[in-house]
């Protein structure tokens, strides 16, 4: 059936660095640490690996290095294994994972590593801001002085206008995510914040403030995927990829159907639910793309966890807490776990796998059986959604 993987693929190993300003670690050291951890977790030596897919947004601008696929294969001691870099701005990691899954599902390879890495803190914050803005339309958005936060701010303004979402409700995802991150030893920000602190933090692009925005981070994440039959021999706790879906949309906000959501999220999740044979109500735990507070509000609506315009109220009722109806971003999300852009989509997979295995420690979602990842590139021009299930 179109949209379905041709053979079942499972995740058998996960690894990630801590996220944050890791000035003592280089780009390749970050990737190697995550990759070795994933191999160790899978109980593999490295000899079994047949291909590597790596998500990376902008090594060319952040560290003046292109051709990072070769660099990574080389420094990881993995040559001549084919390594491919995948770029889709902040969705690079999720898309690299998707391509690893597709490669295994096709039968071309059995054991593949999907990783993501970004080294963002070697440049100044101003430079990082300009580099991130290249994910938007340089000619028709950035040209006019529109920053990346300003794009999400315009979505927030429109959401507030159409659905009455208020400033306090906007603050609720970051507050929740910081609380969750206190339980994640690898998170960048392991402290709580209050609604008042969010609302009174320095303005960035009205109505968004500093604590509405995810940080600039260094970090890497990696996972090992293989066919499900092989996975069952490798581990007692394989996590199967039930669906992999992707959708594109206009790169510029002004060319979209709506500003109050991401049509590509709606499209990709619709395809993913159909392929997995589930509905949004079946999801127990989700890692969604909260690059800004409004992004998480739109995500929970576009993914169908609540109706459009009803997220604010649902946050007030605690629907997305770790012990809520569907746990959203138990890892702390991009906001508090950190957002090394190319790594984020893979780190989401790491969290969901740990959750479904029951290995998420203090942030464990009780009885989690079905998980979802949602990774967005730019302001919504690329969206990648995966659905996972415990395979025992």
Partner 1 sequence: MSVPRFWRSIENRYRLVGTVCKNCGEKFFPPRVVCPNCRRSGEMEEYEFSGRGEVYSYSVVRVPPEGFEDKAPYVVGIVKLEEGPLVTGMIVDCEPSEVEIGMPVEATFRRVSEEGEDGVIYYSLEFRPVRR
Q: Which residues are catalytic?
A: 90, 339
**379, two tokens:** 């302001």
107: contact with partner 1 by CB under 8 A:
no
204: contact with partner 1 by CB under 8 A:
yes
254: contact with partner 1 by CB under 8 A:
yes
Kindly tell me the number of DSSP H helices and DSSP E strands found in the chain: 14, 12
Beta pairing, strands 239-248 & 208-209? unpaired
Binder among 24, 64, 139, 323 for partner 1 (CB under 8 A): 139
From 124-132, 174-182, 231-239, 325-333, span contacting partner 1 (CB under 8 A): 124-132
175: contact with partner 1 by CB under 8 A:
no
- Cα–Cα distance for residue pair 92/112, rounded to 1 Å: 17
Binder among 86, 170, 208, 231 for partner 1 (CB under 8 A): 208
Q: How far is the CB of 123 from partner 1 (least distance, A)?
A: 12
From 71-79, 104-112, 125-133, 192-200, span contacting partner 1 (CB under 8 A): 125-133
Closest to 301 in 3D by CA, of 284, 280, 317, 330: 280
From 29-37, 62-70, 250-258, 332-340, span contacting partner 1 (CB under 8 A): 250-258
Q: Smaller CB distance to partner 1: residue 335 or 386?
A: 335
Contacting partner 1 within 85-104 (CB under 8 A)? none
Q: Smaller CB distance to partner 1: residue 249 or 389?
A: 249
- Cα–Cα distance for residue pair 44/331, rounded to 1 Å: 26
Binder among 206, 307, 359, 366 for partner 1 (CB under 8 A): 206
316: contact with partner 1 by CB under 8 A:
no
188-191, long-range: CB within 8 Å, 24+ apart, which pairs? 188/18, 188/19, 188/20, 188/21, 188/215, 188/217, 188/336, 188/337, 188/338, 189/215, 189/332, 189/335, 189/336, 189/337, 189/338, 190/336
Q: Smaller CB distance to partner 1: residue 166 or 359?
A: 166
- Cα–Cα distance for residue pair 147/164, rounded to 1 Å: 24
Instruction: Give the chain's radius of gyration (CA, Å).
Output: 19
Task: Name the one residue in this structure whose structure tokens are 């590139």.
Answer: 377
Q: How far is the CB of 215 from partner 1 (least distance, A)?
A: 14
Contacting partner 1 within 143-162 (CB under 8 A)? 143-147, 149-150, 153-155, 157-158, 161
Q: How far is the CB of 7 from partner 1 (least distance, A)?
A: 34
Task: Name the one residue in this structure whose structure tokens are 């994910």.
Answer: 135
Closest to 142 in 3D by CA, of 129, 158, 155: 129
- Cα–Cα distance for residue pair 93/78, rounded to 1 Å: 20
Q: Write the DSSP symbol of residue 146.
A: -
Binder among 47, 64, 126, 233 for partner 1 (CB under 8 A): 126
**239, two tokens:** 């996590």
Site residues (vs partner 1, CB under 8 A): 126, 129-130, 133, 137-147, 149-150, 153-155, 157-158, 161, 202-208, 252-255, 259
């Amino acid at each position: 059936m179109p949209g379905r993987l041709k053979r079942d693929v499972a995740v058998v190993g996960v690894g990630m660095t801590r996220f944050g300003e890791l000035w003592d670690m280089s780009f390749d050291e970050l990737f190697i640490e995550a990759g070795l951890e994933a191999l160790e977790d899978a109980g593999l030596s490295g000899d079994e690996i047949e291909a590597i897919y790596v998500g990376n947004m902008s090594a060319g601008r952040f560290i003046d290095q292109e051709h990072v696929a070769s660099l990574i294969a080389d420094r990881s001691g993995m040559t001549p294994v084919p390594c491919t870099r995948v770029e889709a701005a902040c969705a690079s990691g999720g898309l690299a994972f998707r391509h690893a899954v597709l490669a295994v599902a096709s039968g071309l390879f059995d054991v593949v590593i999907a990783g993501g890495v970004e080294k963002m803190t070697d440049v100044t914050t101003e430079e990082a801001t300009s580099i991130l803005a290249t994910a938007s339309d340089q000619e028709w958005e950035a040209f006019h002085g529109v920053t990346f936060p300003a794009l999400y701010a315009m979505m927030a303004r429109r959401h507030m206008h159409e659905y009455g979402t208020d400033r306090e409700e906007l603050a609720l995802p970051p507050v929740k995510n910081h609380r969750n991150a206190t339980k994640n030893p690898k998170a960048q920000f392991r402290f709580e914040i209050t609604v008042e602190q969010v609302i009174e933090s320095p303005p960035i692009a009205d109505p968004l403030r500093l604590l509405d925005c995810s940080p600039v981070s260094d970090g890497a994440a990696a996972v090992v995927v293989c066919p499900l039959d092989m996975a069952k021999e490798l581990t007692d706790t394989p996590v199967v990829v039930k669906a992999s879906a992707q959708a594109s949309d206009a790169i510029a906000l002004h060319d979209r159907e709506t500003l109050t959501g991401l049509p590509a999220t709606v499209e990709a999740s619709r395809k993913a639910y159909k392929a997995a044979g589930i509905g949004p109500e079946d999801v127990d735990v989700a890692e969604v793309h909260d690059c800004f507070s409004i992004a998480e509000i739109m995500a929970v609506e576009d993914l169908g966890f609540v109706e459009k315009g009803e997220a604010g109220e649902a946050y007030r009722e605690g629907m997305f807490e770790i012990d809520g109806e569907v746990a959203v971003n138990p890892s702390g999300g991009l906001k508090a776990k950190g957002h090394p852009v190319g790594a984020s989509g893979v780190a989401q997979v790491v969290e969901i796998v740990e959750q479904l295995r029951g290995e998420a420690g203090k942030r464990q979602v009780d009885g989690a059986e079905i998980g979802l990842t949602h990774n967005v590139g730019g302001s919504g021009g690329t969206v990648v959604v995966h659905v996972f299930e415990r395979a025992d």
